[in-house]
Structure 1
Amino acid sequence: MLALLHTSPVHIPVFDALRDVAHPGLALRHHVDAGLLDRARREGPQAVRADVLTVLRRAVADGARAVLCTCSTLGGIAEDAADAAGVPVLRVDRPMAAAAVAAGPRVVVLAALESTLAPTRALLAEEARRAGRPVEVRTRLVDGAWPCFEAGDTDRYAQLVADAADAVTGADAIVLAQASMAPAGRLTATRVPVLASPAPGLAAGARAVRNGRPAVRRAP
């Protein structure tokens, strides 16, 4: 069984649908704690380290063979807790970051939350070191997007993100830093590859369940 740590319930049907199409038979168990993200935004991700570990251990006690963290702000904290949790713990955006680095050195990161920008930049730098490739990362906060998400206007949220992607120039890849941004990829007109995290992240989680070890490891 794969446990998923979310900070919004909107991710549950997204990952269930991906599982049904690409990984039938994979058992998922969802753990949602919006308070983790709220506190991380106020106090910094390190402030919720102990709480994240508590959630991970609860998931293991419930039978999880691996855990996938779908929150980009907390992904690094979750990964770092893998040894203490006793099972593979993966961040959903790492496979996406690896694909972005492989696409070329010019990567633009779009995010709806400022707290996501620094962890995503650090992740891209890790994957660039792992691949031995140069990377130049530019970031953009999509104005007005997060209030739409919080208000439940996911259509407007996705359109704002798509508009921001279509305005990008001089890039080899566009990274949608948050899993919730994935629907915007279907609305874009840009020829630049627009990368989202849910599908490759879930695939990595499924491999970890089968193999009993992390699908990817952090770069030194």
Structure 2
Amino acid sequence: MVRVAAIYTADTLVSQVQNLFKEYLPSVDLVNIVDDSLIREVIREGKVPPTVVRRLFHYYDAAADTGASVLFNTCSSIGDVAEYAKSFTRIPIVKIDDAMAEEAVEKGRTIGVLATLATTLRPTISLVERTAARKGKSINIVHGLAEGAFDALVAGNTQLHDERIRETAMRIAPSVDLFVLAQGSMARMEETLSALTGKPVLSSLRSGVLSVRKFLKNEGLL
């Protein structure tokens, strides 16, 4: 059986990723590696500190030891680490947000990046900018940080989480062609925000899992 190892920096996405694997990759064995102290350290430091980088490399190595064919990086805050690690890991890495960035630069010129964590905002902006440069596209980015939304989600207050995201989206909607949601935990807001703002909204969760499926098919593993 083909195995995929998913790396999480929080437990908020595990069940959603599992459900999407059951839907799109039912024959694949999904291994979940979760360390929710990672995102807490990143938030506290305001960046990815060396201690987190070292632990991530240990987890990447452990993922290979499980017999996984590919590693699925589910956290955009550590996306730059995952990108760097591609040259060193024993198995390939698929990042959750790469497909979203590709679609965004194909469909829009002025792209709104929404995030609930400042530590995710900059890596996502950088990813979109790199993707545009690689494709020879000229884009503008308008960003919005939904202050307090992530804390509300962790505390179980999904209503406040969603409200802060809606407010932030409405504030920048007049200036953008489309939105990208910087975190997988925001994915369930995709349809709501599109209806509210009248703009296309892209999220990384489903497209990320579909990227894993595409990779496995291209490698002849499905």
Q: Which moved more, 1:121-130 or 1:187-196?
A: 187-196
The aligned amino acid for 2:37 is G
The one-letter amino acid of 2:201's match is V
Q: Distance in 2 between matches of 1:211 and 1:63?
A: 19
* Alpha-carbon contact 1:108-1:175 (below 8 Å) kept: yes
Q: Which moved more, 1:201-210 or 1:52-61?
A: 201-210
User: Which residue matches 1:40?
Assistant: 42
1:167-196 deviation per Cα after TM superposition (whole angstroms, max 9, x unaligned): 411211101101100111132222211110
- 1-structure distance, mates of 2:24, 2:48: 32
Name the Cα RMSD after superposition.
1.7
In structure 1, C-alpha distance between the alignment counterparts of 2:150 and 2:67, rounded to whole Å: 34
Say whether residues 1:104 and 2:105 are aligned partners.
no
What are the equivalent positions in structure 2 for 1:59-208 lying under 5 Å apart? 59-167=63-171, 168-188=173-193, 189-208=196-215
Query: What percentage of residue pairs aligned between the two structures are identical?
Result: 29
Which residue pairs with 2:216 in the alignment? 209
Alignment check: 8 A CA contact 2:10 2:39 kept: no
In structure 2, stretches of 5+ residues that fail to align are: none
Q: How many angstroms apart in 2 are the aligned matches of 1:26 and 1:165? A: 36
Is contact 1:166–1:190 with CA below 8 Å preserved after alignment? yes
- Tell me the secondary structure at the aligned position of residue 91 of structure 2: coil
Q: What do residues 64-105 of structure 1 show as CA deviations (whole Å, max 9, x unaligned)?
A: 111111111101201211232111112211110111111111
Q: Is the 8 A contact 2:72 2:212 kept in 1?
A: yes
CA–CA separation in structure 2 for the residues paired with 1:65 and 1:170? 42
TM-score by length of 1: 0.90
User: How many residues matched?
Assistant: 213
Tell me how far apart the structure 2 counterparts of residues 145 and 208 of structure 1 sit (CA, whole Å): 33
Q: 1:60 to 1:165 in 2, by over 3 A?
A: same
Distance 1:10 1:179, change over 3 A: same
Q: Which moved more, 1:149-158 or 1:109-118?
A: 149-158
Helix, strand or coil at the partner of 1:83: coil
